[in-house]
Amino acid sequence: MLESLTGLGLATSAGLNAYIPLLAIGVLARYTDLITLPSNWAWMENGWTLAIVAVLLAIEFVADKVPVVDHVNDVIQTFVRPTAGGLAFGAASSSSTVTVTDPGDFFSSHQWIPIVVGGAISLGVHGMKAVSRPVINATTVGFGAPVASTVEDVASVLLSVIAIVLPVLVLLFLLLLFLGFGWLLRRRKRRKAEKEAAKWAHAQGYRPS
């Protein structure tokens, strides 16, 4: 159960930022005892792997905070984030962590299942992020993009650490995430209704007598 929550949290984190959970897994496995990767996932803590992921993270960190560029980045990340989520779920669910000393045989014996599940979870979260960003940009004339991106990055870092150290809190984090997304959707609907009402009022004002 706990390994499932760990994988769920890291896959969700990858939906917000593809590289943060991968870097978190690799760094914590390489330099701490919080997570111990099985031999088939040991490449994630390799120095070259960490360096490449860090460079990619730096690129996305900048690109995701610039209006318009963030939209292009989201299109590209449609393929990257589900892949990262699958890798994160697959690696974490079969690893020993500070809370899981004996991961279940199921995830180790059927490795493709957590990878597929993790990819699907990340794709769903990525879709939520991609839908909400235009709303934020439109309501803030683009000024909200760097703020929203920073909040997402911080959330991704926190969720990655929580998933490994205290996975029981992952469900609470997911609840807050869905509540926030629901609020944005309601705001988008309300803004659309206001625009339609303004157009109707403008048309009424200029209707020929």
Question: What is the Cα–Cα distance from 53 to 49, expressed in whole angstroms?
Answer: 6
Dihedral pair phi/psi, residue 96, rounded to 5°: -85, 135
Which pLDDT value is given to residue 184? 67
What are the tens digits of pLDDT across the range 142-197? Answer: 677 788 888 889 999 999 999 888 888 888 888 887 787 777 667 667 766 666 66
Q: Name the nearest CA neighbour of 13 among 131, 147, 167, 132.
A: 167
Q: Which pTM does this prediction carry? A: 0.79
Give the residue carrying structure tokens 């792997």: 49
Segment 37-43 shows an average pLDDT of: 89
Most confident of 72-81, 112-121, 175-184: 72-81
Question: Cβ of 43: how many Cβ atoms within 10 Å?
Answer: 12
The answer on pLDDT for 207 being more than 70 is no
State whether residue 18 is helix, strand or coil: coil
Rounded to whole angstroms, how far apart are CA atoms 58 and 52?
A: 10
